[in-house]
Amino acid sequence: MIERLSRLDRARDGLVGDLLLYSLSAAFALVTAMTSTLLPHRAWGAVAVWGYAAAAAAVVVQLLRGYAGRLPVLGFAVASTVALPLVVQAAQRAAGRTDRAQEEVLVVEQGGQRLLDTGTPYLSPDAIAALPEGERLLGYLPYQPGMALFGLPRAVFGASWATDARVWFLLVSLLALAAAVRLLGHVPVRALQFATVLPLCALTFATGGDDLPVLALCLLALACCAAGRFGLAGVAAGAAAALKLFAWPVVAVLLVLALTHRRGRVFLLGAAGLPLLALLPPLLVSPEGFVENVIRFPLGHGQVTSPAQSPFPGHLVATHLPGGRVLAAVLLGAAAVAIGVLLLRRPPRTAAAAAVFCGCGLLAAILLMPTTRFGYLLYPAALLVWAPALTAPAPLRDLARYR
């Protein structure tokens, strides 16, 4: 089955796979526009469906004419299914629409304002309790302190489409991916598709977006390792870890990889240093606020329940079995121990192997976490598809092949 999928992916220089990806994505966008109960998602689908359809039509023309210009089509798809829906929603929101952003955008921007005003992006437990009951959920910032930096443009310059946190999520993500391509020395079109125009990513970019810079920085860290730049890998991984806890397993795997190459110390300088620097101000200003937001709330012990409740095994166990929350935690811990033992017994020696470790580990965690979202699957999907791109470099002079 894997070999058949691989042959299909390579058919006609990847164009057959492109056609399937853009066609299925157009169908997904259409269904989302017609049926989603989330208004930002419907708005994304109504715009993105035309971009995916046009990209699919362009691939059909390429197949008929025998021209494999994949990169321009990818660029068009990014512009029409990611950037355009994002800017449209950001502009509508700046004009007064209150249904053009997911809650995480508001949370990050409020965190940026608090960071500017108080030195910490987190509200204390007492401050959250003092909020009206219906507003307490938005009082939480369940991310690492660095995420609040994306809220600073709006805090400093006021409300406009350009200061929307999603715009800055996209810019940082694209810069990180461009740097990864530069380091790899070739253009991994399929890998880039799975980090940008795959509906899991495109929809997230346009409506929420906070996971994408974390993912892009992790991919950059892997590309740095593939190029033997472990110091830069530590900086990229550390920047991701300063944004969200999801990056920490990636940091652990890349540390093992760095140790196998005797570069652990130079990797740790950035990988541990940046998250620690980001933590210092909140811990000095309000350590109880950090604990409430980043530890208690994601574990289900906050003053409100997390809305991240996709029906994966961990959530179903925690919800429907007696003592389910404890059992789910045990299963998650057992999976973490098993992966840790495997990591130590058979450590990855290449960036590609590390990407597979990261993808499989995060997939297990997402499936077993008591509170999780379907959209988190973008992490393992992108990491696993990037693995081949980390092992088969081609000179930059071959870029013309993709144009």
> Cα separation of 70 and 403, whole Å?
6
- Dist. CA 139–CA 125, nearest whole Å: 10
pLDDT of residue 398: 37
Q: How far is CA 178 from CA 202, 216, 217, in A?
A: 17, 10, 11
pLDDT score recorded for residue 372: 75
Among 196, 266, 169, 190, residue whose Cα is nearest residue 224:
266
Q: Which residues pair with 309 in a beta bridge?
A: 372
Contacts of 316 (CB under 8 A, 6+ apart): none
Per-position b or e across 255-293, b if 16+ CB within 10 A of its CB = bbbbeeeebbebbbebbbebbeebbebbbebbeebbbbb
Find tokens 């809305």 and name the residue: 307
Over residues 180-204, the pLDDT tens digits come to: 999 999 889 999 999 999 999 999 9
**What's residue 370's pLDDT?**
77
Instruction: Give the C-alpha separation, 121 to 147, whole Å.
Output: 9
pLDDT of residue 10: 64
pTM of the model: 0.91
**For position 374, what pLDDT does the model report?**
80
- Output the pLDDT for position 20: 94
Residue 6's pLDDT is what?
57
Q: Are 58 and 114 in contact (CB under 8 A)?
A: no
CB neighbour list of residue 396: distance below 8 Å, 6 or more residues apart = 185, 186
Check residue 400 and give its pLDDT: 35
User: Which residue positions in the chain have pLDDT lower than 50?
Assistant: 1-3, 5, 392-403
- pLDDT tens, position by position, 48-83: 999 999 999 999 999 988 777 899 999 999 999 999
**pLDDT for res 11:** 62
Say what the pLDDT of residue 40 is.
95
Residue whose structure tokens are 């574990």: 299
Domain assignments of the chain as residue spans, ordered by start:
1-100, 101-391
What tokens does 290 get? Answer: 């950090």
